[in-house]
Amino acid sequence: MITLYQTPQAWGTPNLSPFCFKLESYLRMAGLSYDVKLASLAKAPKGKVPYVEIDGKVMGDSQFIIEYLKNKHGDTLDSKLTPEQMAIGHTIRRMLEECTYWYIVYMRWVDEAGWRAYLPVAETMVPEVVGGPVPVAALRQKMLQILHDQGTGRHSMEEVQKLAKEDISSIATLMGTKQFLLADSPSSFDAVVYSFLVSIIANPVDTELKQHTLSQENLVRYCARFKSRFFANWKPPEFKAA
Please state the φ and ψ torsions of residue 59, each to the nearest 5 degrees.
Answer: -130, 145
Residue-level pLDDT at 237: 61
Per-residue pLDDT of 91-102, as tens digits, reads 999 999 999 999
Q: Are 226 and 192 in contact (CB under 8 A)?
A: no
Q: Please give the average per-residue pLDDT across 117-121, as a whole number.
A: 91
Which among 83, 39, 42 has a CA at the least distance from the CA of 62? 39
Note the pTM of the prediction, 2 decimals.
Answer: 0.93
Q: Is 241 exposed, middle or buried (0-12, 13-18, 19+ CB in 10 A)?
A: exposed
- What are the structural domains, with CATH classification, of the chain? 2-73 (3.40.30.10), 83-230 (1.20.1050)
pLDDT in tens, 132-183: 556 788 889 999 999 999 999 999 999 999 999 999 999 999 999 999 999 9
Report the alpha-carbon distance of residue 6 to residue 21 in Å, rounded. Answer: 9
In tens, the pLDDT along 39-64 reads 988 889 998 999 999 988 999 999 99
Please report the pLDDT score of residue 241 as a whole number.
Answer: 44
The kind and range of the H/E element at 148 are helix 136-150
32 CB-contact burial (10 Å; exposed 0-12 / middle 13-18 / buried 19+): middle
Q: Is the pLDDT of residue 86 over 90?
A: yes
Average pLDDT over residues 220-229: 96
- Reference 136, options 116, 153, 151; nearest CA is 116
Residue 238's pLDDT is: 58
Distance CA 101, CA 22 (A): 12
d(CA 119, CA 127): 14
Q: What is the mean pLDDT of the chain?
A: 92
Q: Rounded to whole angstroms, how far apart are CA atoms 80 and 39?
A: 34
Interatomic CA distance for residues 2 and 54, integer angstroms: 5
Mean pLDDT of 183-189: 97
pLDDT at residue 242, as a whole number: 43
Q: How would you list the strands of the sheet with 57-60, edge to edge? A: 34-38, 2-6, 51-54, 57-60
Residue 70 CB burial class (10 angstroms; 0-12, 13-18, ≥19): middle
Mean pLDDT, residues 13-29 taken together: 95
Provide the phi-psi class of 131: left if phi over 0, else alpha when psi is between -120 and 50, else beta: left
